[in-house]
Amino acid sequence: MAQIGQIQLKTLRFPGRAGELQAAGETASLIRELGDHYRDYHAFLATEMRRYGGRPSPSDFDNKDEFFAAWTYLHEVVKAEALIRNCMAYRRSGRDLGAAVDPTVPLVDKDDQLQPAE
């Protein structure tokens, strides 16, 4: 679990150094790592999104619990993208970590794939 600002991740675990910091609960270091290496962690999240093939459809699931769990995980992937964008903005300009994500660049494109902030 990680909580930075208003964004709480329950199940998503970042890879590499960020994952270690997340597991250790070292929030300040985690913010620095995610913010300074935004592109690496965006690439991980974009891969996660592609792995799920975009938006879940009820017809692809045998029961509602699996369907809702898939949605919940994709919620987390999208929220994680917002979180790493916030960390990057905080590291670069001191923007409030608790702020809503800057809406200038959409989080996902028309094909439901994560978009990079830059």
- Per CB under 8 A, residues contacting other proteins are 5-6, 8, 10, 55, 57-58, 64-65, 67-69, 71-72, 75-76, 78, 96, 98-101, 103, 106-110, 112
DSSP characters for 47-92? HHHHHHTSS--GGG-SSHHHHHHHHHHHHHHHHHHHHHHHHHHHHH
Report in angstroms how near the CB of residue 94 gets to other proteins at its nearest: 12
Residue among 33 and 76 whose Cβ is closer to other proteins: 76
Report in angstroms how near the CB of residue 37 gets to other proteins at its nearest: 23
Spatial separation of the C-alpha atoms in residues 11 and 36, rounded to whole Å: 23
Report in angstroms how near the CB of residue 118 gets to other proteins at its nearest: 15
Query: CA-CA-CA-CA torsion for 58, 59, 60, 65, nearest 10 degrees?
Result: 40
Report in angstroms how near the CB of residue 4 gets to other proteins at its nearest: 11
Residue among 13 and 16 whose Cβ is closer to other proteins: 13
Which structure tokens are listed for 8?
């709480």
The helix/strand/coil state of 10 is coil
